[in-house]
Amino acid sequence: MSLNRTSFSNLQLIVKFVFPNVAEKMKFLIVAALLVATVSAKSVRINSLNNCGGSGAPITFSGTILTDPVSVPGVMNMDLTTVTTVAATAADGLTLRKVTTRTTDNFQVPCLNGIAGTCTLDFCTAIATYPEYVCSLFPADVPCSCPVDAGTYYAPEAFVTFDAAWLAIDGGVAGDYATRTEIVSSLGAPNELVLGCIDLTYTLSAA
């Protein structure tokens, strides 16, 4: 049962007759107010999808996470739009840098299966080696391979896969998470440049 402002106001009217004593009336109203606040807090969704690239970044992301929470093993569905003003080829040597943290206890998830969790790998190699994890982020009518041409890519049925390997991480899989994924040019060099960045926050639970 949930309480809103209208039902709380109705409680105030009822209390006048049920609790004629002022002290008892105040105690009841305080408890009811705390209950309303607790219910409201639990209804807040913590998941989000945000573009975190700097001003003028050539690759941008927008969209919505549609699955909350995500049961593991399972998938997190998203409505994802990617806009890029630059093409990506194998010769560019772009790097995919991912950092995933369980925010519940600030635990950094290790690299799982070479691509999930916290991993750093070549962008085009990631597409070629892990299509089962990467290609679900591409629109159905776009080839999942390098080169990736400049353009706007709308993937209303995009999803991220969380396989059984997540169940074995330290502390268990249940909790709130944040993943930052960057597409980086010249990783580790003085002229390192983040071309695009996406932040995902979400909740995982064991299926």
- Contact (Cβ atoms closer than 8 angstroms) between residue 172 and residue 206: yes
Contact (CB, 8 A) for 161 and 133: yes
Average pLDDT value for residue range 188-204:
96
Percent of the chain past pLDDT 90, that is, above it, reads 76
Q: How far is Cα 7 from Cα 38, in angstroms, rounded to an integer?
A: 15
Report the pLDDT value the prediction gives residue 14, as an integer from 0 to 100.
43
Quick check: pTM over 0.85? no
Instruction: State how far the Cα of 141 lies from the Cα of 8, in Å rounded to an integer.
Output: 52
What average pLDDT score do residues 197-201 get? 98
CA distance 122 to 207: 32
Residue-wise pLDDT tens digits, 80-126:
999 999 999 999 999 999 999 999 999 999 999 999 999 999 999 99
Name the residue with tokens 């990467």. Answer: 134
DSSP letter string, 146-197: SSB-SEEEEEEEEEEEE-GGGGGSTT-S-EEEEEEEEEEESTTSTT-EEEEE
